[in-house]
Structure 1
Amino acid sequence: MSDFTLLHDYLLPISKAGLNDDQEYDDFQIGGVTDAYEDGHIPNLDIADVILLGVNEDRGYGPGRKSADAADIIRKAFYNLYYWHRGVRIADLGNLRKGASLEDTYAALQTVMAEVINSHKTIVILGGAHDLTYAQYKAYAARKQVIEVTIADAIIDLKEGSSVPEENFLMEMLTEQPNYIRHYNHLAFQSYFVHPHMLETLDKLRFDCYRLGKVRENMDDIEPVLRNSDLFSIDINIVKHNDAPANTLSPNGLGGDEACSLTRYAGMSPKLTTFGIYGYRPEKDRESLTAKQIAQMLWYFMDGVAVKNKEALLEERDAFYEFNIVCADIVTLFLKSKKTGRWWMQLPGRGKEDEFLPCTYSDYVMASNNEIPERLLRHQERL
């Protein structure tokens, strides 16, 4: 990515001084260590681990619903935090130029993200309506890369007949041909907002949907889902109103700390290359509390990246404990990382290092008791 001119025409620089009220950031604040695109300064993207991109595109919300400067308000809160992960290098591309139409913005975002993905970097998108997830997906489709997608949203955006992009973008994303989605996971939906037939349809497609209560019941069960994901997208409506006042959809949702756990799990994923946090409406916020919540979610994402960077490869068997289990007359191998404590189970009949499914300790316990873990059953069904 040394040739910044490939991206320059799509981007607008930011001003660190403007974000920090004309004060310099401390060397230990995130604003002090982030290599940002400013007038006169081009970030070194080659050495970055994580690349930030603001997208102040609000047309996906529908007519008359504007949320300008969402990315910069989040960025201001994030830059003020102290950074404990010096080994994780952050670059900031500034903000994407809005296109003449929403489709033009999609195309520009797709181009920038595809370039970052090609360079084996992780890109984080801030701001904008949730339909920008579609452009996130198209960056992979343009490369004909088959991926696993995970979305966290209180609603499932499959509203047929709606002209509002953020309400129906999933329909096009999941059904267009050719399609490059190998598997789809939906996290933290709230049942009273979702038509039962919609869930039945997704289940028939062998997609996995986890209601809010299921996610909150055992957050650790969600970590393997994110560990296997290439694309992760969050609508901030998953966080309950008290913890994210800009979410006016529902008083219920994940707690702020639980949302931080999700983003930390995402950062720990060795496969994840794009991560978007959408749906922030500054005009609905109170004391910028939602922006601060998102900033802390980003902090925990970086914490997860720091953990990922320490994890061994599966073929480095000295870094794992090995457990051979006979379950339902099938011999399978479980691995536990000595560095992070995470678990993997070998897919029956595969026998290759790369044919391991991320799992949890509870899956290992089930297999030890001669019960086939549901995670494995669902995976076999999809195959």
Structure 2
Amino acid sequence: MTFNFLSPVSDEVLAHNELLTPQALGKKLKIHSKAHGLPDLDNVKIAIIGVLENRNDINYMGSEVELDSIRKVFYNLFPGNWYTNVADLGDILKGDAVGDTYFALRTTITILLEKKIIPVILGGSQDLTYPNYRAYDSICPMVNVVSVDSNFDLGDSTLPIKNNSYLGKIILEQPYNLFNYSTIGYQTYFNSQEEIDLMEKLYFEAYRLGEVSKSISLVEPVMRDAHIVSVDLKAIKASEVSKEQKYSPNGLDGKEICAIARYAGISNKVSSFGVYEYQHSKDDHITAMLVAQIIWYFIEGVNCRVSENVLSDSVNYQKYNVLIDDDELIFYKSKKTGRWWIEIPFLPDVNNKLKKHTLLPCMHEDYLEATQGKIPERWYKAYKKNSF
């Protein structure tokens, strides 16, 4: 299969790139151009894809998605001490129907995943997370999705998919590959009580904006367990973005969203990362720069990945057993990175999704609370999901 759906990076962006210093990031990328075609993807670890689709935005009024401003400022940044090769594969244009765009994106991501290349998707409306998720149908039997968003986007799954209802489609449409869904930075007043109750009933994870801002490190174990990370720019507070992008006076600030992107990059499991709901406007330098820095920090995180396999490498891990009533909780701590995991037991009498013991990323605080007789909430929810 080939990348038939990708159009090259615009000549305007390439002309801008020619003027940059040789040390600039744009000079280090493998770029899909009209003149040279698709680059060789051998040894490429990360591939940027733009998707110019926003027709399923509930507020769609005919506006076009424009990503050149993001590329210009991204190319102008300087790379870190990176060892990974990055490619910019250009854009997927709007299809005749939105479903055509979905098919193109799903197919493209599937090819990249098969090549062990991490796609970084730039959108476009956040419903593009749905074809991103569907790209895993033939790749991974259980998929964990993390959304950085002020809303849950459950919506009414009986209606056609929109950017505020794509999660409902992911949950209810076959094949059922979703194991866990987590929302980072949700704001209660943007979500109905029925949606909040449903998240609890499904044992999904939801972290309020206040929790995240108080302790950004709680995001790390959530990201460590994610396959797909989807960032809605509406989760960022209005003071951090340009006029067209403003959504709420409350939200994540620039440092927090970049820290979250880096946590996503560091995760060995995250294999696709998307930034959505970009609203271009004239003289929009601030939002474009923020998106560029989000991508930069994700790539930085990927370059900081440390391979760890707790269950097959007992020498480099400390094991802790904690008794709480009739439950024995087993924790592991990496001697290499200091990261923690908790074991989720296999339930042999239940037709669950786990076929063996598995490990759930957690924090040191979870272990400390367990020693005080409190069962960690992440462990409880994962255990209950496997009891269905």
- For the 8 Å contact 1:50–1:90, the answer to whether it is kept is yes
* Partner Cα separation in structure 2 for residue 257 and residue 8 of structure 1: 35
Q: AA paired with 1:77?
A: V
- For the 8 Å contact 1:17–1:23, the answer to whether it is kept is no
- For the 8 Å contact 1:311–1:340, the answer to whether it is kept is no
1:29 aligns with 2:32: no
1:305 positional shift = 0.7
Relative distance call for 1:287 and 1:17 in structure 2 (3 A) is closer
Unmatched tracts of structure 2, length 5 or more: 348-354
What is aligned with 1:167?
A: 164
What is the CA RMSD across the aligned residues, in angstroms?
2.4
Q: AA paired with 2:375?
A: I
Range 144-153 or range 110-119, more displaced: 144-153
What is aligned with 2:342?
A: 345
What is aligned with 1:381?
A: 384
Give the share of equivalent positions with the same residue, in percent.
33
1:154 aligns with 2:154: no
1:8 positional shift = 3.5
What is aligned with 2:99?
A: 103
1:120 aligns with 2:123: no
Q: What is the TM-score of this pair, normalised by structure 1?
A: 0.90
What is aligned with 2:352?
A: none
SS at match of 1:158: coil
* Partner Cα separation in structure 2 for residue 188 and residue 208 of structure 1: 11
Q: AA paired with 2:286?
A: L
Q: What is the TM-score of this pair, normalised by structure 2?
A: 0.89
SS at match of 1:21: helix
* Partner Cα separation in structure 2 for residue 202 and residue 349 of structure 1: 24
Give the length in aligned residue pairs. 374
Of 253, 261, 272 in structure 1, the residue corresponding to residue 270 of structure 2 is 272
Relative distance call for 1:293 and 1:90 in structure 2 (3 A) is same
What is aligned with 1:256?
A: 254
* Partner Cα separation in structure 1 for residue 3 and residue 374 of structure 2: 55
* Partner Cα separation in structure 1 for residue 356 and residue 337 of structure 2: 18
Q: AA paired with 1:240?
A: K
Of 371, 375, 379 in structure 2, the residue corresponding to residue 372 of structure 1 is 375
* Partner Cα separation in structure 2 for residue 120 and residue 354 of structure 1: 26
Of 334, 359, 362 in structure 2, the residue corresponding to residue 359 of structure 1 is 362
Deviation by residue 1:229-263 (Cα, 9 ceiling, x = unmatched): 11111110111111122432211100110001111
What is aligned with 1:86?
A: 82
- For the 8 Å contact 2:106–2:135, the answer to whether it is kept is yes
Q: AA paired with 2:246?
A: T
Give matches, 1:1-383, under 5 Å. Answer: 6-15=1-10, 18-19=13-14, 21=16, 23-38=18-33, 39-61=35-57, 62-70=59-67, 72-143=68-139, 145-160=141-156, 165-245=162-242, 246-283=244-281, 287-308=284-305, 310-314=306-310, 315-328=312-325, 330-348=327-345, 355-383=358-386
1:274 positional shift = 1.3
- For the 8 Å contact 2:31–2:87, the answer to whether it is kept is yes
Q: AA paired with 1:29?
A: A
SS at match of 1:185: strand
Deviation by residue 1:285-308 (Cα, 9 ceiling, x = unmatched): 754201111111111111211121
